[in-house]
Amino acid sequence: MNCPGYHILSRLQFFQHPGSFVFVSGGSRKSPSRGGVDTVTSSVSFGLFLSLMDTTIVATALYTIGADLKSLGSINWVALAYTLSYLGCAVIFARIADIYGRRNAYIAAFLIFFAFSLGCGFSTSLTQLIACRTLQGVGGSGLYSLTFVILPEISPPKMVQAIGAIAGAVVAMAGVLGPVLGGVITHYTTWKWIFWIKYTFFQPVS
């Protein structure tokens, strides 16, 4: 089982210097085609959307989470822990990408984000939830910062101006859908699905 974004980025390799993205096919290297650029753009935008949505999706579920975990006094840290680590690690991930390559850094961020999203749903105490949210934010910061590193590097010059529009649309969509989706999920199911819902995007890859 693989996530579409992970499957697509697994085709990317990073060589020589930070700006050299190429596709690998049968051991040969070639510049990415227009279709390849569109595919990777949609993949990293998907990761950006998920990481941004997690900053707001808990907003309408904090009371329910606090009541369930019997910790209403400190429940705001569920949101703050993610946001603080999300903002604090963005530059760090960009530097890691310079050292180890964009692809490796992005996949590491992707795996951290998804692994601790799962952990958030299985948390049985507020302390566990805050710890998982903090580490989830570390992965989310990588998805956020590396998106704005990768997109300009793989886009043809004439498409660079469109990157801002794409990112703006993703940010707006995540900001609007996050609280609404969090409220709907909490009302009709359980708050745990706020963190598990992203796994519904998983599908078998042949």
Would residue 156 count as lying in a domain?
Answer: yes
Q: What's the domain count of the chain?
A: 1
pTM: 0.80
State the CATH number of the domain containing residue 145.
Answer: 1.20.1250.20
Of the listed ranges 3-12, 48-57, 176-185, the one predicted with least confidence = 3-12
Rounded Cα distance between 41 and 100, Å, is: 21
Please check the confidence at residue 205 and state whether its pLDDT lies above 50.
no
Domain that holds residue 28: 4-198
Would residue 185 count as lying in a domain?
Answer: yes
pLDDT (0 to 100) of residue 7: 45
pLDDT (0 to 100) of residue 192: 93
Please check the confidence at residue 203 and state whether its pLDDT lies above 70.
no
Please check the confidence at residue 10 and state whether its pLDDT lies above 70.
no
Would residue 153 count as lying in a domain?
Answer: yes
pLDDT (0 to 100) of residue 31: 53
> Percent of the chain scored above 90 by pLDDT?
51
Contact between 86 and 144 under an 8 Å Cβ cutoff? The reply is yes
**Mean pLDDT taken over the chain:** 81
| Positive or negative torsion for Cα 156, 201, 120, 1 | negative
pLDDT tens digit string along 88-134? 998 899 899 999 998 899 999 999 999 999 999 999 999 999 999 99
Of the listed ranges 59-73, 79-93, 190-204, the one predicted with least confidence = 190-204
pLDDT (0 to 100) of residue 28: 45
Would residue 124 count as lying in a domain?
Answer: yes
Residue 22, strand partner residues: 13
Would residue 203 count as lying in a domain?
Answer: no
Would residue 118 count as lying in a domain?
Answer: yes
Q: At what angle do helices 77-88 and 34-56 cross, to 10 degrees?
A: 140
Cα angle: 88, vertex 51, 72; to 5 degrees:
75
Please check the confidence at residue 173 and state whether its pLDDT lies above 60.
yes
Would residue 51 count as lying in a domain?
Answer: yes
Would residue 119 count as lying in a domain?
Answer: yes
* Tokens 């996050």, located at residue: 178
